[in-house]
Structure 1
Amino acid sequence: MPGDDRVLPVTRIVAVVILPFLVVAAVLLYALPARTGELFAWQIDPPMSAYLLASAYVGGIWFFAGVAVERRWHRVRHGFPAVAVFAGTLLAATLLHLDRFSDNVSFFAWLVLYATTPFVIAALAILQWRRDSGRPDHPDVLIPRPARFALAAVGAAAFIFGAALFIAPDVAVAGWAWDLTPLTARVTGAVMSLTGVVNAALLWDSRWSAFRILFHAQLVSLTAIAVSLAVRSGDLAFERPVTVVFLALVAGALIGYGALTAWCEARLRRNRGQTAAP
């Protein structure tokens, strides 16, 4: 029913089905980046590109685990458009570069996953959309407008970078922070789109409860990216100006998400304490 804020069983089932794919992909990309041509859908080189994609999967694991157990739709709703855009972009990248993929079981699983996920996730978002009444939790925290606009700007910058990588991969190959192929350029663009789509919702929704799971997922993903950049620093081309810009964007996002999450969590604990007080 409209406004009941309920996560439908089918939505949780889809989340449970997606989770194993994300876990297996993240393990393969992190643990065996040199064998991606054999074990994954295609050969990814250098490993930094594999690690970046894995970081998106790690954040996805956190998000879909939340969807699988969550009862209130508004707490996860803003993640669904981001996942649909991400998966749809990867489907487009796949169709544009079919010759780069391996002839193995992993590619078949990849193709099935990305040929279906964008449409399934979009259908679930439409099916559930009106169930959010717009009311905050009790208690809840309202995210301050300056913080919302600042993070929306960070997301817009990430989305613009990602769109440029997808639209002009040949230009990205010559100037990105590490060596890319046209395929990995488009995949990198898809990863960067996630932040942009999620953060756009901050422009009209100020409820911390609507972003809490998503921000935790993005912090997990950003931490994984930061660790990957440190581990694979040898893959970075520091002589290219975009390298510094990319590192600054990751650092700014990590600091911004971390600070806002800490502030909102502290306020939420205080509000819960006040609500529970006699």
Structure 2
Amino acid sequence: MTSAGRPSKAGDDRILPVTRWVAVFIIPFLVVADVLLYAFPTRAGELFAWAIAPPLSAYLLASAYLGGVWFFLRVATVRGWHRVRHGFPAIVLFAGALLVATLLHLDRFSHNLSFGVWLTLYATTPFIIAVLAVVQAPRDPGIPDAADAVIAGFARIGLALIGISVFAFGAIMFAAPEFAVSFWAWKLTPLTSQVLGAVLSLTGVVNAALLWDSRASSFRILFQAQLLSLSAIALSLIAGRDDLLWDRPMTPIFIGVMVVGLGLYGGFVAWCEFSLRRAAASRVTVA
């Protein structure tokens, strides 16, 4: 505490105004990308940064952006840095991977305004978000909220292992895109393989944080965003079912993983909501 009795900056759990404003700045770009990729996937070469075929790849990238909209909206509005902090390393890795993929495949991109925006955002976002994460890091008090819940060890380890497995698979798609092209559930190019690998990295980085943080309040928003993305992917598989290659074993495997993932993530999000609401109600009753 300071001499005036106010909390010191370290551990005050405050989200700085600059962090909120960066989130507000990013949201419109994600919304526009979602509209373009969902509504006009076959015109991505004209309206987006590059031509994406088949549409299912565009839908999958859009699903990550959809989760990002929710995440950054909450960064801009929620109280408590610890509630969103574990999403920042995931964004850094995702954006950084897309920057690398872009530089490796510049010949695939369109020479239009969308590509200029794409390149500018991915050349700056990973570094800006990384700096914000470092500056904000000491503000996490490291203790549960007044109305919080503890995530059981088996759930934390299980979700972390799922995330790490998905991350490893995404890393293979990014590091060996030609190999991924040969077995994936729909047609890919080396560029779309690396983009999808970057998308898969998100859940791995977020879930790994469960190994050292047991606060339900730290993951409520992040898993809401992930569940939103998973739901969007599930709908995309229905909309883009004609793109699926049913002669490849990866197709039923991917669909099965999606179904299981929806069940697990949906159950975890429901548990977080119930537990945190119950904790809040108990606190009010005691007070």
TM-score of the two chains, using structure 2 as the length reference: 0.95
2:267 corresponds to 1:259 = yes
1:217 aligns with 2:225: yes
Unmatched tracts of structure 2, length 5 or more = 1-8
User: Does the 8 Å CA contact 2:10/2:141 hold for their aligned counterparts?
Assistant: yes
SS in 1 for 2:150: coil
1:273 equivalent to 2:273? Answer no
CA contact (8 A) 1:154 1:249 kept: no
Secondary structure of 2:126's partner? helix
C-alpha contact 2:217 2:276 (8 A) present in aligned 1: no
Once the two structures are TM-superposed, the CA of residue 249 in structure 1 deviates from its matched residue by 2.2
Q: 1:245: how far off? A: 2.3
Question: What CA distance in whole angstroms lies between the structure 1 residues aligned with 2:197 and 2:205?
Answer: 12
Counterpart residue number, 1:130: 138
**1:75 paired residue number:** 83
User: What code does the residue aligned with 1:174 have?
Assistant: S
Which string of whole-angstrom CA distances, capped at 9 and with x for unpartnered residues, describes residues 181-223 of structure 1?
0000000000000000000001110101101110111111100
User: What does residue 58 of structure 1 align with?
Assistant: 66
Contact kept in structure 2, 1:84 and 1:121, CA below 8 Å: yes
SS at structure 2 position matched to 1:102 = coil
CA contact (8 A) 1:154 1:253 kept: no
Read off the aligned partner of 1:18 and give its amino acid letter.
I
Letter in 2 for 1:96: L
The aligned residue for residue 169 of structure 1 is 177
Structure 1 match to 2:3: none
Q: Which residue identity lines up with residue 125 of structure 1 in the other structure?
A: A
Aligned residue number for residue 7 of structure 1: 15
Which secondary structure does the structure 1 equivalent of 2:187 belong to? coil
Matching residue of 2:251: 243
Q: Tell me if structure 2 keeps the 8 A contact 1:173–1:182.
A: yes
Aligned residues: 278
Task: Establish whether residue 208 from structure 1 lines up as the match of residue 216 from structure 2.
Answer: yes
User: Stretches of 4+ moved more than 6 A in 1?
Assistant: none
Q: Deviations over 1:15-71 (max 9, x none)?
A: 001001000000000000010000000000000000000000000000000001122
**Structure 2: distance between partners of 1:94 and 1:88:** 10
| Letter of the 2:80 counterpart | R
Report which stretch shifted further, 162-171 or 149-158: 149-158
Structure 2 residue 105 is the aligned partner of structure 1 residue 97: yes
Q: TM-score, normalised by structure 1?
A: 0.98
- Structure 1, unmatched stretches of 5+, are none
Code of the residue aligned with 2:84 in structure 1: it is: V
Indicate the residue corresponding to 1:143 in structure 2: 151
Given the alignment of the two structures, is residue 27 of structure 1 paired with residue 27 of structure 2, yes or no?
A: no
Which residue number in structure 1 is paired with residue 4 of structure 2? none
For residue 201 of structure 2, what is the aligned residue in structure 1?
A: 193
SS state of the match for residue 200, structure 2? helix
Give the C-alpha shift of residue 264 in structure 1: 2.2
Percent of aligned pairs with the same residue?
63
The answer to whether the Cα contact below 8 Å between 1:22 and 1:60 also exists between their aligned partners in 2 is yes
The answer to whether 1:234 aligns with 2:249 is no
* CA–CA distance in structure 2, aligned partners of residues 237 and 30 of structure 1: 21
Structure 1 CA distance for aligned equivalents of residues 114 and 129 of structure 2: 21
What do you get for the CA RMSD once the two structures are aligned?
0.9
Aligned to 2:282, the other structure's residue is in SS state helix
Cα offsets for 1:103-161 (capped at 9, x unmatched): 00000000000000000000000011111010111110111111111111111111011
Deviation at 1:231, TM superposition (A): 1.2
CA distance in 2, matches of 1:29, 1:86: 18
Larger Rg: 2
| 2:181 and 2:193 in contact (8 A); partners too | yes
Question: Which AA in structure 1 matches 2:160?
Answer: A
